[in-house]
Every structure is written in C-alpha cells, then in structure tokens.
Amino acid sequence: MTTQQILAFAVIAAMMAVFIWDRFRYDVVACCALVLAVTVGVVPFDKAFSGFSDDIVIIVGSALIVSAGVARSGIVDTAIKKFFPNLNALHTQMALLMIVVALLSAFIKNIGALAIMMPVAFQFAKKSGVSPSKYLMPMAFSALLGGLMTQIGTSPNIVVSRIREELTGQSFTMFDFTPMGVILCVVGITFLLFFHWLVPSRTKQTHSLEEAVEISNYTSEVTITPQSTVLEKALGELLKLGDGEVIANAVLRGHARMAPFPDLKLRENDIVLLEGPSKALDRIVSGAKLQLSGKPLMENGKDQADVISIEAIISQESPLKGLSAKELALSYTRGVNLLAISRHGERVKERLSTLTLAAGDVIVLQGSRKNMPGIMQDFSLFPLAQREVLLGTRRRAVIPLIILALAMAATAVGLAPVPVAFFAAALGMVVFRAIPLTDFYKSVDGPILVMLAALIPVSDSLRTSGGSELIAGWLGQAAAMLPAWGALGLILITAMAVTPFLNNAATVLVMGPIAASFATNLGFKPEAFLMAVAIGAGCDFLTPVGHQCNTLVFGPGGYKFSDYPRLGLPLSFLIILVSIPALLWIWPVG
C-alpha cells in the first residue's frame, strides 16, 4: 500500500468517524475533510473545488427547486383531498408513498420520482401530526429499490448492461432486471413499512427566521361564490380542507350573524370568518375556490400579473393605527387588499373592513410586487422576516407538473442529460412563475450542496490514489477460495460498501469487470455476478451522500449522518440475504 493510498483511506475514515460522532454540522465536517485532503496531498489543488461543478450538485439543487414548485402549485393538496380524503393512518400513508415512488422510479429518474412525492409526504406529516423524517428516508430507500426493476430505472443497471454487451456481445434487456427488482422491492418496502420506527423523529437542522416567527392565528374572511366547491354544503366540509388547523368564528349572511355550527349549509354570498395559520387558510381558499376580502387588482384594465402577499407588522408610527380598512379604502387608494390579521392574545370576530387596526397587529397585504416596498414604507410597516405568504397569490397548478414531465421525457428519450434537464426544469419554475424568484433561492438547501461539493473530490481520492484497484486485488484473492454463493455474496457486499465513496455508476465500472473475471476464472456464467454488482451499487442505504436520493431528503428530514445506518444497515443485510439465493435461482451460474 502506497503512502497516498494510506492517506486517502485515513482521511475518509476520519471524516466518517466525525460524521458518526455528530458533534459538528455536516457541511462543516465535509469542508474540513476537503481542506485536510488537500493539505496531505491526496486531492490536488486544481481539483479541490471540482465538486462545485459536479452533476450531482446540480441535480440535487435543481430537484429541491422543482419539488418546491410542485408543492407551491397546490395540486398536491387537491390530489390528496380528491383521491385519499380519509387516509390518516401512518402505515397506510407510508405504504402509498413508498409504492408510488418505487413504481415511478422504475420508469423515470428516481430522484425525480422522489421530488414529485416529497410534498405529499409533508402534507401527510402535517395531517398526522408526525415528523416528516418518518416518511422521507423510507421514501428515498423505496426510490432506490424501485430503480432496480428496469434497465432505465437507475444508472448501475444501464452501465452493467453495457459491460455485459462488451463481454458477451449481448446486453441485458429492459425487463431482464424486473424479476430480481420486484422481489427486492416487495421485500424492502415490507421491511420499511414494519420497521420505520428505526427512523427517529427529527426536525430540520437548519431553521430559518421565517419558521421561528410563524403566525398561528390569522383571521381572514372569505365569500362563498357560485364557483365555490362547498356551495350548498355543510360548513364542516369546508373546514375539513384545513386538516383541523382552521376554525370558523362566524358566518355572516346578509345582516344576520350565524353561529358556525358544522352542519350549517353554506349559501352563495355567505361570508365566513376563518382563523388559522396562513398555509392552512390558503389550502381552504384555493381548495374550495373562495373569494378573499378586497377587490380584484387591475392594471390597465387587466389583472395584475405579479401579485404577492406579504406579512407585515403595524408600527407605533404607522398612519394605519386607529383606522379601519374601510376608512382607509386601501383597495381603491393604494391598490392593496387586506387579506388577514393576527392580534396577539385576542380572537378577531369582526369583519376585516370594520376592524380598527392597532400597533403590533400582524396583517397580510396583497398587492403588486413593484408597489409593495413603497406601501410598506409609506405606512411604516415592518415586513415579517422578509417573507411572502401563499394566501391570496395566484398559482399555476398544472405548469409545475408539465415542466417536470418534460424534463423526465427529455432524459428518457436521450434529448438531454439529467443535470441539464433538471436545471432547465428548475429555471422553468421561475420563468413561468410557478415559484417566485425569492423562493427559488430559499428552496436550494445551501448546506447540503456545500457538503456534496466538498465530499466529491475527497471520495474521488480513493480512485485517483489507486485505492479502489487495491480493494479489487484483495477481493480477487478472497473470492478464488469461495463457492458460487460465497463469491456472489462477496461481490454484492463489496459493491454495496464501495458505493458510498464512489459514484454508483463508477462502482459498476470498477466492480463489473472484476465480477465478470471472477465468474470466468471460477467457471461460472457472468450474468448473476453482474446483476450482483448492479444491486449492490443501486442499494446505498448507509449514508446520505452515496446517492442523490438520500441527499435530497437529508436536510428536509433533519436527519443526522448516523440515522441512515440505523434503518439502512438492517435493510442492507436483508437485501443481501434475499439477493443471493434469488440470483442463483433466476440467473443460474452453472
């Protein structure tokens, strides 16, 4: 073993130990590992920051933006309410998410399938009152398992097909992987469904100021229109759309004020005073097609295109203090609508137009993006954590799905590589206003991308120093003394162990020829060994960095590095135990 190889192994071992120790944040650990690797010479100076231009960083960052665009569209809420209105049990929710992700991953890029379903997981978590971490890691592992079912499901399957063609003149076909993939998928999802308790309940590790100042008791008034989906239905049906987070303070019908009983039938032009978090209010307004207070905002006789809603605090110097929205006539004089109000320690039971505003009130204003800064300054309002809210903003429900579908189609038919297609999809979310530019950058999880970019050259040092070839040599010596099932298991375990430190496609490129030569030297057919390499490279359940699906859920799930082997290690053992006899049965080596 050369000095370079010893240093490369030492740096990676030290980095993994600190990750598992979990005393420092993951991006700091990764950056320190990069600096150490450069210092000892296993990563050249000119390659130190090569990770920042790596495809994986682009794919993960773009997928986060695409997922945020799908979530913002509101189509996720609509689908849940329509197809699974009573899906409340954790096990049934998890089963649905994992099965859908696995099936989608068989035919589209698994990170894309995961990005589509992540917003659904957050909605289920909110509905069930459990941490999203309970859903996200099992979903990521299901995406990896689903990719095993077809040739195009994951990169290792494509690469191993090419290796077989070079060796035997015949490639694996599209569905040669399906028997093994289905077996492993069923076994894996069953395990995840019954052993998801191994995943701890986590909260997001990097909280924003916006999350710290979340307002939970906004009051807003909505009007039942002829287009409303709850017209002539009970008030309780309307409140169901808020998943228990919204209550009705009153129903105003003409000059009458009616008690908000759940069985009260809603009629056209009824005004309902609702109280709850802004996101839950938005789900009700968009899901039931209700009309918020205020008037349509027009510009040159047309609807204003760039309308936003902002939370703001009324200061002591504000001219709004002591006046009502009706007296101010904000809609007519300044082109803004008052959509909601929150008053600390007090439940608002008046109509927003007649309520006298006071210093310290938190209000939601709707208006043009270009005019809003001037209005905030003129009325001495303080924006709450510099954030916008969804309530009262227009969403293009179908556009995010169309953008994502086009990106998937482009990669499926070979028109564009995955990083280019996903980057274009993320850009399309902004160009077609599916997500505001401000949310675009908030959706990118900076610490995750920095960690990835720092780890890529560190992990690659195993290859550049010759460490991977050294492992291959040791493997060849050990396998020569083993029976068929033992050699097959050794190939599978080694591929599974190496994948966290090499790109999964690179693992196949390194291990594939080794596996084929093993089979030839031992007098066996190579197909089972090549399949073992593909399975091992595609089943990286031990770290958040070995596959982009694991990385994608790392930040949103609030996971620690050590959380992955808690669920992933027993799953890996199960995959090994099932794979070896199944491979020998489906692909006989004799």
Task: Render pLDDT for 505-561 as a digit per residue (tens, 0 to 9).
Answer: 667 766 777 777 777 777 788 889 899 989 998 898 988 877 878 888 888 888 888
Does residue 22 register a pLDDT over 60?
yes
331 or 305: which leads in pLDDT = 331
Joined tokens for residue 19: 């990750």
Does residue 153 register a pLDDT over 50?
yes
Q: How confident is the model at residue 589 (pLDDT cuts 50, 70, 90)?
A: confident
Predicted pLDDT of residue 213:
46
The average pLDDT across 29-47 equals 91
Average pLDDT, the chain: 82
Q: How confident is the model at residue 297 (pLDDT cuts 50, 70, 90)?
A: low
Instruction: Give, for 389, the enclosing helix (H) or strand (E).
Output: strand 381-389
Does residue 210 register a pLDDT over 50?
no
Q: What 3-state class would DSSP assign to 394?
A: coil
166/225 Cα distance (integer angstroms): 66
* Tokens 């077609």, residue located: 432
Joined tokens for residue 217: 């008791």
530/519 Cα distance (integer angstroms): 9
Predicted pLDDT of residue 244:
76
265/227 Cα distance (integer angstroms): 16
Does residue 345 register a pLDDT over 80?
no
HSE of 151, CA atoms in CB hemisphere, 13 A = 14
Name every residue whose Cβ is closer than 8 Å to that of residue 95 and which is 6 or more positions away in sequence.
189, 193
Share of the chain above pLDDT 90, in %: 18
Predicted pLDDT of residue 212:
40
Q: With left for phi above 0 and alpha for psi between -120 and 50, is residue 169 left, alpha or beta?
A: left
The average pLDDT across 315-341 equals 84
Q: How confident is the model at residue 300 (pLDDT cuts 50, 70, 90)?
A: low
Strand partners, 365: 310, 338
515 or 139: which leads in pLDDT = 139
From the list 241, 273, 242, 268, the residue with the least C-alpha distance to 258 is 273
Contact 148, 573 (CB under 8 A): no
Cα diameter, the chain: 91
- Per-residue pLDDT tens digits for 384-420: 754 556 665 666 668 888 888 888 788 777 788 878 8
Joined tokens for residue 385: 């954590």
Does residue 185 register a pLDDT over 90?
yes
Q: Positive or negative CA dihedral for 446, 449, 452, 458?
A: negative
73/429 Cα distance (integer angstroms): 10
Predicted pLDDT of residue 468:
64
Q: How many helices (H) and strands (E) does the chain have?
A: 25, 11
Does residue 207 register a pLDDT over 70?
no
Predicted pLDDT of residue 386:
46
> What pTM value is reported for the model?
0.65
Does residue 299 register a pLDDT over 90?
no
C-alpha 436 chain-centroid distance: 18
The average pLDDT across 203-213 equals 50
Neighbours of 466 (CB within 10 A): 16
Contact 191, 181 (CB under 8 A): no
Neighbours of 518 (CB within 10 A): 22
Predicted pLDDT of residue 368:
81
E strands, 62-122, are: none
The average pLDDT across 494-503 equals 77
* DSSP letter, residue 73: H
Does residue 209 register a pLDDT over 50?
no
The average pLDDT across 120-140 equals 87
The average pLDDT across 322-339 equals 82
Out of 130-134, 219-223, 399-403, which region has the weakest mean confidence (pLDDT)? 399-403
Name every residue whose Cβ is closer than 8 Å to that of residue 46 and which is 6 or more positions away in sequence.
none
Name every residue whose Cβ is closer than 8 Å to that of residue 269 and which is 6 or more positions away in sequence.
223, 224, 225, 253
27/437 Cα distance (integer angstroms): 25
Tell me, what amino acid is at 152?
I
E strands, 141-239, are: 218-223
Neighbours of 306 (CB within 10 A): 15
Share of the chain above pLDDT 70, in %: 86
Does residue 87 register a pLDDT over 80?
no
58/202 Cα distance (integer angstroms): 26
Predicted pLDDT of residue 505:
64
